Amino acid sequence: MRSIKEMNDKWENHLMVLAAFRYCLGRQTYIVSECIDWLISIWDEVRRIPKNLIIGEIMDALEGDCAGDPCDGKSWRAFLVWAEEKATSEEVAQKKENHEKLSPILRNEEV
């Protein structure tokens, strides 16, 4: 079976990521931790829109107290913290890369 990275240009693959996640959100079994571990392992390959949907749906479930048992809610909260830290570090890296590309242009140097 091909990885999501190998099939990254197809929306169906991201649809299946959302479907699997939605199955797990609100469950009260081992599947929650399995899903979170899986999401972390593929997170770099998931596009921005599905990431935003996943984060938003977790937040809604936690707010509505329908994210599973208290231990499951704790796991989803930990995932949100991880995702936020990951997004922040990616944004910082992107800004640094953009700055490095832009600096010579702003200084009117050859690129």
**What are the structural domain ranges in the chain?**
11-106
* 3-class secondary-structure state, position 68: coil
Residues contacting 13, CB < 8 A, separation 6+: 4, 7
Indicate if the pLDDT at residue 2 is higher than 60: no
Mean of the per-residue pLDDT values for the chain? Answer: 83
Q: What is the rounded distance in angstroms from the CA atom of residue 73 to the CA atom of residue 28? A: 10
* Alpha-carbon separation of residue 88 from 7, 13, 65, 83 (angstroms): 26, 25, 27, 8
Residue 98's pLDDT band, with cuts at 50, 70 and 90, is: low
Q: Is the pLDDT of residue 1 over 50?
A: no
* DSSP code of residue 27: -
Give the per-residue pLDDT at 12.
60
* Rounded mean pLDDT, 53-58: 94
pTM of the shown model:
0.74
The model's pLDDT over 31-52, given as tens digits with 9 standing for 90+, comes to 999 999 999 999 998 988 899 9
Q: List the one residue out of 82, 21, 79 whose CA is nearest residue 50.
A: 21
User: In the predicted model, is pLDDT for residue 26 greater than 70?
Assistant: yes
Is residue 79 within 8 A of residue 40, CB to CB? The reply is yes
